[in-house]
Amino acid sequence: MFPQNKQLYTKLIMSDPCMKFLLNGEPVSVTDLPPTLSLLQYLRQNCALPGTKEGCAEGDCGACTVTVADIDADGRIRHRAVNACIQFMPALHGKAVTTVEGVAVGGVPHPVQQAMVDCHASQCGFCTPGFVMSLYADFRAHAPREVTRQEVDSLLAGNLCRCTGYRPIADAARQALAVPRSPAESARDEAHEKALRTLARGCGELVLDGAAGKWFTPKTEASLARCLAAHPDARIIAGLTDVGLWATKQLRTFPKLVLVSEIDSLHRVAASGGRLDIGAAVTWSEAMPHLLRHWPEMQEHLLRFASPPVRNSATVGGNVANGSPIGDSMPAFIALGAEVVLRSLSGERTMPLEAFYLAYQQTARADGEYVAAIRVPLPARSQRFRVYKVSKRFDQDISALCAGFMVKVERGVVVEARIAFGGMAATPKRATRAEQALLGRTLDEAAMQVAQEALDGDFQPISDMRSSAAYRRQVARNLVKRFFLEVAPAGEHATALRLADLEVLP
Amino acid sequence: MKRDLPASAVRTGAVGAALPHDSAHLHVAGAATYIDDIPELAGTLHIAVGMSTVARGRLVAMQLDRVRAAAGVVAVLGHADIPGEKCIGPVKHDEPVFAIDRVEYIGQPLFAVVATSLEAARRAARLAQVTYEEEPPILDYDDAIRANSHVLPPLTLVTGDAKAAIAAAPYRLSNRLLMGGQEQFYLEGQIAYACPREDGQMLVYSSTQHPTETQFTVAHVLGVAPSQVVVECRRMGGAFGGKETQAAYFAAVAALAAAKLKRAVKFRADRDDDFMLTGKRHEFRADYEVGFDASGRILGLEMTLASRCGWSADLSGSVNDRAVMHVSNAYHLANVTIRSLRLKTNQQSANAFRGFGGPQGILAGEHVIDDIARHLKLDPLAVRKANFYSADPSSPRAMTHYGMRVEDNVILELVTELEASSEYARRRAAVDQWNAREPLIKRGLALTPVMFGISFTASFLNQAGALLHVYHDGSVMINHAATEMGQGVYTKVAQVVAEEFGLQVRQVRITATDTSKVPNTSPTAASSGADLNGKAAQAAAREIKARLAAFCASTHGFDAATVEFRDGRVMAGAWERPWEEVVRAAYMARVSLSSTGFYSVPKVGFDPATLKGRPFYYFAYGAAVSEVAIDILTGESRLLRVDVLHDVGRSLNPAIDRGQVEGGFVQGMGWLTSEELVWDAHGRLRTHAPSTYKIPVSSDVPEAFKVSLWERGENVEDSIFRSKAVGEPPLMLASSVFLAIRDAVAAARGGVPALDAPATPERILLACSAGPAA
């Protein structure tokens, strides 16, 4: 990558010095691109397209939502809502971006826009373009379809509105998504897709080497491995949902960035040999159906994991490699006995995921290595598994704590127990004392109590703005109870276990 | 309540129609222009401020060389660069634009960096080396009280003899409620764009609810006459009170830089900076003792309402006054003493936020009622009814504790209707049955009323102006004092003008609020925007109508009083002409087709020293029933169903009014549930972005959200077409969510729960874990 190795890559695959993408259907070439220039800044400052708004510059409010279309590893075009504020421009090389200015068809408001007007779904209007684009992304991918309010809630979990109270927006969503696509819109979409395929065919590995920093988008793992061998100090990026805000909020600079999300082999999800391998660059939106096929117990958790625009960008590998103590995937993965697959020029190694985390934001990844996949053992029949997240807000919040529980019960006794918590220590961490306490026991009230007591010795949580240490301790104990109630109901006869499943009393 | 209206209040056209927001078609297309969307003038510069990292202390030294030397930096400005007043503030001028010798909160601006890009300014601002002599910050209520730290002196409202009444009462209890603050979280952050004009004049585009104050603040800081300064605001991307006083700061600093450098300068705060710099809803602590009888009727109440006002006075006086007045909500208090403590703490200066002290006062009052009901084991709704103000204005029970007679009381009527439509009694029983059966998930139900006083308590602010032009082709332009922040005031005022002229609303062009078109404006606040400006615009329209009628009458020889304006036509008896033709003829005859309009609210007058008088023109009423569930293992809660009945009088626009009711409710719900502001022991705000500060999202709002505007609603006062203000009152409907959660906690543990606001999972779990109290 970057100057000295450029020759090497151009032998293997075409490399581009200039970033190219489609903007509202029109091809755009960008030269002299600072690698961390955000799509939002570019739209507003360079293109005089101010419809896309900045509300928070950290991917939490959705005012900057645009749609991005690209071609997946199987050659299909996928349309996704993403947060433009934390997307670095070079990450959009070879893709198609649609903004709120580009959704009307021939000057006629799009059904999504019209429904928002008809339902009185805008007040101050500042969040409105983001809502329009979240809905447009869904319309583009799925319309026409009937959606429930719950589906609308999930779809819009990444868009904040401070004025309306959401009811009219939900009405507009349900109305608009049921509208059949017009012939004019279909024709436009076809033309755009054709242009996207043409563009993508002509796009190779992007290499930027400017005063503001260097950027490399490898297209193969071999290329990536060589690059990391030569530049072990390069920052590996994928969905940019965390690193993006290191730039916008912490004003950090990145001399070398390597984007791994354009490598097809890192996008594979495969179940074989008793395990599910999830490529590191698979987004959470893409991983969800695979995970739910094998672990339907994760349904609520995955819907509460970030928000659609974030899940559409954020990758499984990124969440794991980032090593945040409050990442929401690790407690579940560790409880399930997942391994992390690390590769480099010198080969591949795997390790239990819990062993990957050494200290606060410190992992066992060596220089030159990258996270290639997460390997999760497929469920055994004797296995009972749950994952719980506790936060101030149901949707799109960071956990106060998060817990994964898995026990294997054979002939009535626990033969294996894996319990992992996030938010309770400086890393995602197993509750080894509690696990030990369960071994050889039947899942009864007494076992629950010894596990709860043992758990107190497993963690020394901290107090912060999300919750106090005392609360974390108490809830950790209570989640043990919840797990027992859900997988081995006895004692108290609760028919209602989770708020999310409740209905209004008749 | 319906009665025959005077002719002046009868409407035939645009008023009352559920028209879309005037900018809806622009919002959805991304074509509505906010200040950051205005194409920038060549050479525009950008601002970031350096902020104090210490909550209290002396500013010893600032080393800014590295800031000045940073890439892109054009200038660094501090207090010495201010040609005019170095301190600003809406009432007391107690806020240095840039710290002079002391710092009083973490986030306080020390200096401004002006640079060629926003990023360059932000980067440079972080390079300052500042030396402080630190002092322990005052953050807590008791610390402030002990230190005698007040932004304004303590104030006490006394009516009757509370102490004696409590002593003589058959029942007594005392309790404390803590109420958290709330960040406005307008989606569009604070922003101003200052463009110098010739001869020392300044044009400032400001996202402000108060263009006049912004204009005056800019003028004072620049040391020029306000006539040199024009402030314009077409729309804000939300404000909620947060841009009533706070916007002026951004405008003043942008203008200071623009004047100094003679270049256009934009000051747009990053979201985190906005949180750190600007104020929020006041945090309150209510301590009370109440005496009551067996029916739950309050006989005497003593309360201390202490608020954390932050480092400066801002509008804390009026906010706290309103809290004191709203403790009664819809209830008669014969013997009451309320002590109001406006505490100075080393935090962001608490400021206006939708409800303006009303929510905290009302919640405190509702908490008293809830305590009484739980103490007596009565349904709280029965206790509420036992305490309602009398609907008979001549009754002694129609007199508020601040000396205003309630002449428009409809609360019992409205609550009774909601009680039936929401099936409160049946659901109360169903919730109790559920709770008897289910150990882990407890449900709660609460019906709470809202009675909110409408008018600025600073009586002089109850005025508005409008400027109306009719161009000689018949097209119409209206301009007025109100600012548009999403609440639809532009739409409503245009409807009033269209109604008066008998035109379609689309024929009325609404233009940006502008201090050079309408001067001396009051803030768009206190829910007053449509009330005041609708009337002012109506006055302007009626003036032009009178001129046109006189012209037609003199030309055609009929009585001017018979002229009507309807359906795009002007008519008198059998004579009629198209509007455009009449306007054109009047122009040719040299009739003035432009008029100002002015309105001043009658009847109001209030003494802020004793907190007595008639602060309000009228009251807005509403009620809500909320059903919630809590998870007693985690403390998480969920709102399952809401039924709202709200009185907007005769609605000017039912779609907009419903939007205000729903949006206000959800915002109030956020205040009382997920929105938690956390300051650490050093006084640093730790929740300063949407990643850590959680406003409601779509899934927090139940599908069963049944909102009705009260059909019998009507204003007994001569308001604009007998409508009622709607901006703030619905926020307080969300008290029902908090008290429903408290009801669920009571089901989990019995007794009188100790639950503070916001009811986060942690507070709910804590309240559930505590043993049953008395």
Mean pLDDT by 10 residues, chain B (774 residues): 53 87 98 98 98 98 98 98 97 96 98 98 98 98 98 97 98 98 98 98 98 98 98 98 98 98 98 98 98 98 98 98 98 98 98 98 98 98 98 98 98 98 98 96 98 96 98 98 98 97 95 98 96 98 98 96 96 96 98 98 93 97 98 97 98 98 98 98 98 98 98 96 98 98 96 96 94 49
Beta-carbon contacts of A375 under 8 Å, excluding residues fewer than 6 positions away, are: A275, A276, A277, A278, A338, A339, A340, A341, A350
Q: Tell if the CB–CB gap between A54 and B36 is shorter than 8 Å.
A: yes
Q: Is B84 near chain A, with CB under 8 Å?
A: no
Residue A492: pLDDT above 80? no
When CB atoms are compared, the residue of A100, A156, A164 closest to B659 is: A164
Confidence (pLDDT) at A74: 87
ipTM greater than cut 0.85: yes
* A51-78: b (≥16 Cβ within 10 Å) or e: bbbbbbbbbbbbbbbbbbbbbebeeebe
Residues of A in contact with B439 (CB under 8 A): 492-494
Where residue A496 falls among pLDDT bands split at 50, 70, 90?
Answer: confident
CB contact under 8 A, B36 and A44: yes
CATH homologous superfamily of A268-487 equals CO dehydrogenase flavoprotein, C-terminal domain (3.30.390.50)
B residues 607-636 lying closer than 8 A (beta carbon) to A: 627, 629-631, 633-636
Strand partners, A70: A78
Can you tell me the distance from the alpha carbon of A443 to that of B291, in angstroms, rounded to the nearest whole number? 52
Full set of structural domains in chain B with CATH: 45-135+190-268 (3.90.1170.50), 283-457+607-769 (3.30.365.10), 463-600 (3.30.365.10)
DSSP-derived secondary structure letter, A501: G
**Every domain of chain A and the residues it spans:** 9-101+187-259, 106-181, 268-487
C-alpha to C-alpha distance for B718 and B714, rounded to whole angstroms: 10
Asked if A479 is an interface residue toward chain B (Cβ–Cβ < 8 A), one would say: yes
Tokens of B490: 């532009």
Which of residues 702 through 741 in chain B touch A, CB cutoff 8 A? 702-705, 707
Q: How many CB pairs under 8 A join A and B?
A: 289
Q: Which residue of A has its CA nearest to B766?
A: A471
Chain B nearest-CA distance from A293, in A, is 24
Helix, strand, or coil (residue B531): helix
What is the predicted pLDDT for the residue at A16? 83
Residue with tokens 């570019």: A42
Q: Which of A125, A152, A249 lies closest to B32 in CB terms?
A: A125
* B551-562 as b/e: b if 16+ CB within 10 A: bbbeeeebebee
Across A363-381, average pLDDT: 97
C-alpha of B491 from chain center: 19
Tell me the shortest Cα–Cα distance from A349 to chain B, in angstroms: 35
Beta strands in A280-391 (DSSP E): 339-344, 347-352, 357-359, 362-363, 370-377, 383-390
pLDDT at A33 over 80: yes
Q: What is the pLDDT of residues A438-448, one digit of tens each?
A: 999 999 999 99
Cβ-nearest to A395 among B689, B699, B766? B699
User: What integer pLDDT is reported at residue A84 of this predicted model?
Assistant: 98
What number of H helices and E strands is found in chain B? Answer: 19, 31
Q: How far is B428 from chain A (nearest CA, A)?
A: 10
What's the rounded Cα separation, in Å, for the pair A504 and B702?
9
Q: Which of B744, B609, B604 is nearest to B673 (CA)?
A: B744
Residue A168: closest CA among chain B residues belongs to which residue? Answer: B659
Does the CB of A475 have a partner CB in chain B at under 8 Å? yes
Instruction: Kindly list the residues from chain B whose CB atom is less than 8 angstroms away from the CB atom of residue A127.
Output: 187, 237
Judge whether B492 is closer than 8 Å to chain A, CB to CB.
no
Q: Which of B698, B701, B733, B769 would best serve as a mutation to test chain A binding (most A beta carbons within 10 A)? A: B698
Q: Which residues does chain A have within 8 Å of residue B636's beta carbon, measured at their own beta carbons?
A: 390, 394, 499
Please check whether residue B506 touches A, CB under 8 A: no
Closest partner residue to A124 (CB to CB) among B36, B187, B658 is B187
The answer to whether B586 touches B547, Cβ cutoff 8 Å, is yes
Chain B touched by A179 (CB under 8 Å): no
Nearest Cα of chain B lies from the Cα of A348 at a distance, in angstroms, of 36
Residue in chain B lying closest to A103 (CA): B29
Q: Which residue, among B696, B631, B628, has the nearest Cα to B665 in the 3D structure?
A: B696
Q: How much is the CA Rg of chain A, to the nearest whole Å?
A: 24
CB B257 within 8 Å of CB B112? yes
CA–CA separation, B566 and B499 (whole Å):
8
Buried b (16+ CB within 10 A) or exposed e, B150-172: bbbeebebebbebeebbeebeee
Interface probe, candidates A138, A393, A397, chain B, greatest B C-beta count within 10 A: A393
What class has domain A106-181?
A: mainly alpha
Tell me whether residue B576 is one of the annotated catalytic residues: no
For domain A9-101+187-259, which architecture applies?
A: Roll (3.10)
Q: Give the full edge-to-edge strand order of the sheet including B102-103.
A: B102-103, B57-63, B129-134
Residues 6+ apart with CB under 8 A from B712: B1, B2, B410, B413
Q: Which of chain A's residues have a Cβ under 8 Å away from the Cβ of B438?
A: 494-496
**A390: closest chain B residue by CA:** B634
A56 and chain B in contact, CB less than 8 A: yes
Q: Which of B27, B485, B632, B643 to mutate to test the interface with A (most CBs of A within 10 A)?
A: B27
Residue B468, token pair as written in the block: 């109306």
CB contact under 8 A, A166 and B23: no
Tell whether B440 lies on the interface with A, counting CB pairs under 8 A.
yes
Q: Which residue of B has its CA nearest to A504?
A: B640
The distance of B243 to chain A (nearest Cα, Å) reads: 13
Tokens 């009664």 belong to B328
The answer to whether residue A287 neighbours chain B at the CB level (below 8 Å) is no
User: Which of B438, B627, B728, B762 is flagged as catalytic?
Assistant: B728
Of the partner residues A164, A249, A395, the one whose CB lies closest to the CB of residue B663: A164
Q: Tell me the two tokens of residue B334.
A: 């014969």
Q: pTM for this structure?
A: 0.97
Strand pairing report for A213-217 and A256-259: parallel
With bands split at pLDDT 50, 70 and 90, how would you rate the model's confidence at A15?
Answer: confident
| Nearest by CB: B28 against A128, A153, A161 | A128
Position A310 scores a pLDDT of 96
| B141–chain A nearest CA distance, Å | 20
CA distance B25 to chain A (A): 6
The verdict on a CB contact (< 8 Å) between B692 and A465 is: yes
B690:A56 CB<8 A: yes
Q: Dihedral, CA atoms, B408, B409, B410, B412, nearest 10 degrees?
A: -170
With bands split at pLDDT 50, 70 and 90, how would you rate the model's confidence at A505? confident
